[in-house]
Amino acid sequence: MSGKETVHMCQPKPGAQGPEVVHPSIEIYDTTLRDGAQREGISFSVEDKRRILLRLDELGIAFVEGGWPGSNPKDVEFFALARKLTLKQTRLAAFGSTRRPQTRAENDRNLQLLLEAETPVVTIFGKSWDLHVTEALRTTLDENLRMIEESVAFLAGRGREVIYDAEHFFDGFRKNPEYALKTLQAAVRGGASRIVLCDTNGGSLPEQIREAVLAVRRALGDGIPLGIHCHNDGGLGVANSLAAVAAGCTHVQGTINGLGERCGNADLCQVIPNLQLKLGYRCLPEEAIRTLTEVSRFVDEIANLNPDPHRPFVGASAFAHKGGIHVSAVLRDPSTYEHISPEQVGNRRKVLVSELAGKSNVLYKARELGVIGAKAGTGARSETEPEAEIDPARLQQVLSQIKELEYAGYQFEGAEGSFELLLHRALGNYRPFFELIGFRLVIEKRSPMEEPLSEATIKVRVGDRVLHTAADGDGPVNALDNALRKALEEVYPELARFKLTDYKVRVLDEKKGTAATVRVLIESADNGRRWGTVGVSSNIIEASWQALVDSIEYGLLKSTTAEPRQEADRQRPS
């Protein structure tokens, strides 16, 4: 290594399983703010980049690449802001290229901007593939070697630690291995602290990565640390990164969630747990790796992306179990169907209920939701009361009802609010908050150019009171929602906090045209808590009504259970 201290080097974990081999140190280099920002549809603001940088510092990432100060004003502004930040664990790197052909390094504007960023680390890339030298740069092979060596030397001579990224290295090595190795030797002569081998096109295979890394080690010796930078165009970004580590790379670059151009970069949310939990390295402090799921979702939120639920390790479905046989086994021993404990990366186990469910699924969900073995509705198990169980005959009835409803088109995987209400109703321990007497919808279009007007009139009973009101809305469902809320808020003022955040309609049997059965999924929220409900009917209004009623009932159940309201409880129908 260079004589400088490196933060959070990956050390072999004491007691790790596997052959008794002393592994060299590994360091993690994150390029979400530069390579990740090149993903289609992403545009990080300066404030976005600041927040992500601080979160990665908190996670304990050794290096974070902040951007290319010579490419746009936003990155110049970000590095000016970053100079005022106090980073506790991360070293910030600015990114750029070698000097231009036939230009002195001290006169190259891009190199000057890298110095002006005032980061302790500078990462520059150069060409390793002779095709790029002659066709992209339009220069000679010898001039390219001078560009690499002089650029590295210029930055290193001014107090920067220089990491050299050998762009297109693996493609270049396969075409002209002798020249590809010469480019690395030029960077070493210039004073690079690390040589990073880049699979820029993302098309290499793990065995090709391994062979090339071993060849580089033979050519350069053990005096210079090697790194790996993989793209995911062949779906092997993580596998190639691990193959490179096995061959001797001690520095791994990637992005959170695999963000990046085209198919993305190696996903650090997969690389880190594989290195640490499977291969025995200590990439992050144990308490930090337990926040990996949180960091993954934080970056998705900043990037305005919907988290991929099927993402390994950190996805919401990464530890989801649906089949009844699977759930029964997991309840006895989680290792039967889980390769690690979800808590190790800050995730959680999830049991789904569907037509594939068995009794174990229902029991697990009933306990998880607090319907049994807890004070109903609170989700908090009583320490003084023995755990209640569901009578086997009643359990079978509930399971049969779920299967029949799923056959009819219901789906409870995204509608746990409706599922919990179903359990309460099936077990006979639930009283509805209101009773529908009837409603009427009027839709009127007054001219061809105007949007239709929607008005709903509704009559409900709460206890011994009949509430009758009307409201309009942007469409019939919105009008119905407004009318129902208007009627109930007098009795249940907490309804004013409930927000309908998502409304989806799925046609289940398209061949029936306008007579097709539809499934309506509604997502609601109250002070950060979210829940989903579902309705199914050949009438979209009826399906929407079912989901809407469950949404309000579930919200009231959780609200009044947590903080009982005497007036509301008195007025609930028995």
The residue among 322, 326, 329 whose CA lies nearest residue 354 is 322
3-state secondary structure of 540: helix
**Angstrom distances, CA of residue 417 to CA of 320, 401, 414, 534, 549:** 18, 16, 9, 8, 11
CA distance 289 to 272: 8
CA distance 511 to 529: 38
Residue 30 C-alpha from the chain's centroid: 16
pLDDT number for residue 411? 72
Structure tokens that stand for 133 in this block? 């030298």
Indicate the DSSP class of residue 316: T
**65 DSSP β-pair partners:** 93
Q: What is the pLDDT along the chain (574 residues), one digit of tens a residue?
A: 333 333 444 444 444 444 445 455 789 999 999 999 999 999 999 999 999 999 999 999 999 999 999 788 999 999 999 999 999 999 999 999 999 999 999 999 999 999 999 999 999 999 999 999 999 999 999 999 999 999 999 999 999 999 999 999 999 999 999 999 999 999 999 999 999 999 999 999 999 999 999 999 999 998 999 999 999 999 999 999 999 999 999 999 999 999 999 999 999 999 999 999 999 888 998 899 999 999 999 999 999 898 899 999 999 889 987 766 776 787 778 889 899 999 999 998 876 655 455 566 666 766 776 676 544 333 333 333 334 466 777 777 777 777 777 777 777 767 888 888 888 887 777 788 999 999 999 999 888 888 889 999 999 999 999 999 999 998 899 999 999 999 999 899 999 899 888 888 988 876 777 778 899 999 999 987 889 999 999 899 999 999 999 999 999 988 854 333 334 343 444 3
* Strands of 175-225, DSSP E: 194-199
Residue 379 C-alpha from the chain's centroid: 26
CA distance 18 to 279: 8
Give the pairing type, strands 518-526 and 529-537: antiparallel
User: 302 Cβ partners below 8 Å, 6+ apart?
Assistant: 44, 48, 51, 52
Is 26-302 a domain of CATH 3.40.449.10? no
CA dihedral 417, 422, 425, 428 (to 10 degrees): -110
User: 232 Cβ partners below 8 Å, 6+ apart?
Assistant: 202, 238, 258, 260, 263, 264, 265, 266, 267
pLDDT number for residue 245? 96
CA distance 65 to 197: 16
In the chain, how many H helices and how many E strands?
19, 18
Same-fold call for 26-302 versus 435-571: no
CA distance 518 to 512: 11
What is the pTM (predicted TM-score) of this model?
0.71
Structure tokens that stand for 404 in this block? 């029949």
Residue spans per domain, the chain: 26-302, 320-426, 435-571
Structure tokens that stand for 514 in this block? 């306008």
The answer to whether the Cα torsion of 153, 159, 161, 162 is positive or negative is negative
Indicate the DSSP class of residue 452: P
The residue among 353, 352, 326 whose CA lies nearest residue 337 is 326
CA distance 272 to 65: 17
The answer to whether the Cα torsion of 126, 130, 131, 134 is positive or negative is positive
Residue 174 C-alpha from the chain's centroid: 35
The answer to whether the Cα torsion of 397, 402, 405, 407 is positive or negative is negative
Structure tokens that stand for 149 in this block? 């060596």
* Residue where the block lists tokens 């640490």: 276
Burial of residue 512 (number of CB atoms within 10 Å: 0-12, 13-18, 19+): exposed
pLDDT number for residue 405? 76
Fold of 435-571: Double Stranded RNA Binding Domain (3.30.160)
